[in-house]
A and B are shown apart, each in its own frame.
Chain A
């Protein structure tokens, strides 16, 4: 711990990871996202939808009674992932929302933005950020447990999955520990910066890219389960 402290309190190292490294990771993150999204979109094309039913059958029925709508919803629930894995879907949604929202609205980040550039963004009160961070850590723990102990998940898990789960949760864990001054604050905050930068750099080039792929695949590609009014299809 003491050796870490000496390296982590080295002003040259500190200035590098707090300055150029932040810019670099944000540039790699931004450009990477643009390039990878463009590459993904190049695999798709706007195509005339294949007619599978007469037009009037495709339009949603509007003359259904409330009861009919309710029973249809129940039938949909029964066969959909919401019915079979309601708990996991809920945990997953909470995890992902907190994962994205917390870093944007955490007060510590916004104070730095304000002092550096005078950009004043809305922040959550510290207690709320703290709770959201706990949600992320708890979600990560649940996902880890599933991967380790649920046979169906373990059978398709690779080392990569564990690494990425760790990379996703590490910034939150170190941020949490630093905020609560558990262990050495200086070490934790440096690890927090490094983990955050690592995550940003990895997003466009790893399975983290599902943050873009999900929206393209579900909202822009025509398929049985697509949402919205997509017009594109894959052109492999």
Chain B
């Protein structure tokens, strides 16, 4: 009788012991994670120093056209409307990048689709005759022509 009870209780105790072992392993893993997080505190300071060392003007994200963006932004006030015009030499990805970057960097000036709606233009390449007629040159920076609408 005693033997029968023991053999029936065996799997229950085994399962219980396994469950306890699982919980113990869980707690041990949490402790490992907490130790790693404590080490992370020290690493955060190192990363902060690195971040401060690599900090640069946001315009630098634009790479070769950084100077042009910087200058163009200084000409634009909040709410002014600008258009970016791309010459045939620029590939699709680069155009997309400049379109995205201009929306971010030149805000709160507002991007518009065509020079006809713009107060100022940024031309990657040479400005065509229509743009030259409507806009006076501000400067050419990094090969980018910048212009503001001529007074009527």
Q: Do A and B bind each other?
A: no
